[in-house]
Amino acid sequence: MPGGGGAVGVLGAARTMAVSGAAGPARPRRWLAGLAWALAGLAMLALVGAGWIFLLWKSSGLPRPPGSIADISPVILAIVSAASVGAVLASRRPRHPVGWLLLGIGLGLAVNILVEPYVKYGLVIRPGSLPAARYLVGFTYASIFIWLSCAGFVLLLTPTGTLPSARWRWWARVAAAAPVVTVLMMVVQPDPLAPDYHGNALAVPALARVLIVPGVAGVVIVFASLLVGAGSLVMRFRRARGVERQQLRWLALAAACASALLLIALFAAFVLAKDVVVEASSALCVALLPLATGAAILRYRLYDLDRIVSRTLRPSAAGCGTRSTSTP
């Protein structure tokens, strides 16, 4: 009986430690969960704002707005899927970067389809009709490179949240710096919307001249990061075994399809000069990532680490109980 009491005491202490350990970090993480859902809400709000500008443009009888509902439907799909899946992951696993990166994709896409028609309507179609439009000229296309970079890092860091190996650190630094340089180059350009509109309230001509070459290199690196990230994910898939291989199967398939769509987008941009094809292919490319991640979560419980931890702790607790029982 003393041994049984000791076992009960050890198991009770283990349960107390488990509960206190689980409850302790949960409190400071509540604000991170709220932040994740707030960012998802901002993406949805930006989507509503973009729809309002689209209807305003269409009802005015002015020239056709940039993109119809059919044209931007893949973008809407990408925004909703990235924001919703990203909010779920970031709220449940705030230390895992993939959830926040997916939120970055959703926000970047939403800002892009909001700012572009806002600026063009307020400066080109009906000058002066919308406030602060001239201060957003440099940001008209800047967010494109933000969400593309986030998509590349989703591929690079999935599923562990870390790089495949230490040898990838140099590439991660380059891929992180590329969108920063590119966005800065676009923000300080004197005439980013020429010939439709000349001028930029935030222009710095001297800095713009210096950043032309690094900025163009940054554009190339951002697009290359998608292909590199897809390659790293396929490499992880080939090395994985068992459940991990099942978890990565959906994501590896999405990466392969995304790479094909990216090649279509590049061909349409530089050979066919079809902006609609570029936008649709790029958006579908990105929409595949959160959808595949969501499928992996629902079917193979990807990122669900609670069960792994609990299965690890149960044999340890049982071992402690056995040892305490055998102790005189």
Domain count, the chain: 1
Spell out the residues 6+ positions from residue 56 whose beta carbon is closer than 8 angstroms to its own: 121
For the whole model, what pTM was predicted? 0.75
Instruction: Judge whether 328 lies within some domain.
Output: no
CA angle 266/99/291 to nearest 5° reads 55
Per the structure block, which two tokens stand in for 13?
């202490």
Alpha carbon 316 to chain centroid, angstroms = 38
Q: In the prediction, which pLDDT does 300 show?
A: 59
Q: In the prediction, which pLDDT does 274 show?
A: 61
Q: How many CA atoms lie within 13 A of 184 on its CB side?
A: 17
Q: In the prediction, which pLDDT does 17 show?
A: 35
Written as tens digits, the pLDDT of the chain (328 aa) is: 444 444 444 334 433 333 333 334 444 478 888 999 999 999 999 999 988 888 877 776 666 555 555 467 777 888 998 999 899 889 988 888 989 999 999 999 899 889 988 988 888 888 888 888 889 998 988 999 999 999 899 889 887 788 988 999 999 999 999 999 999 999 999 988 777 777 888 989 999 999 999 999 999 999 999 889 888 887 888 887 776 677 677 777 776 776 677 677 667 666 666 666 666 666 676 677 787 776 666 565 555 544 433 444 444 444 444 444 444 4
Residue 189 φ then ψ, to 5°? -65, 140
Instruction: Judge whether 164 lies within some domain.
Output: yes
Least Cα distance to 183 among 221, 237, 151 occurs for: 221
Per the structure block, which two tokens stand in for 296?
């992996």
Alpha carbon 76 to chain centroid, angstroms = 14
Residue 209 φ then ψ, to 5°? -65, -35
Note whether 32 and 90 are within 8 A (CB). Answer: yes
Per the structure block, which two tokens stand in for 71?
């044209």
CA angle 18/19/22 to nearest 5° reads 85
- In angstroms, the Cα distances linking 198 to 65, 195, 236 are 20, 7, 48
**Residue 69 CB burial class (10 angstroms; 0-12, 13-18, ≥19):** exposed
How many CB atoms are closer than 10 A to CB 271? 8
- Domain boundaries, position 222: 37-54+69-308
Q: In the prediction, which pLDDT does 176 show?
A: 96
Note whether 167 and 156 are within 8 A (CB). Answer: no
Per the structure block, which two tokens stand in for 70?
């059919």
Q: In the prediction, which pLDDT does 11 show?
A: 37
Instruction: Judge whether 178 lies within some domain.
Output: yes
Instruction: Judge whether 27 lies within some domain.
Output: no
Instruction: Judge whether 254 lies within some domain.
Output: yes
Instruction: Judge whether 21 lies within some domain.
Output: no
- Residue 278 belongs to a domain with what CATH number? 1.20.1070
Note whether 149 and 225 are within 8 A (CB). Answer: yes
Instruction: Judge whether 136 lies within some domain.
Output: yes
Instruction: Judge whether 216 lies within some domain.
Output: yes
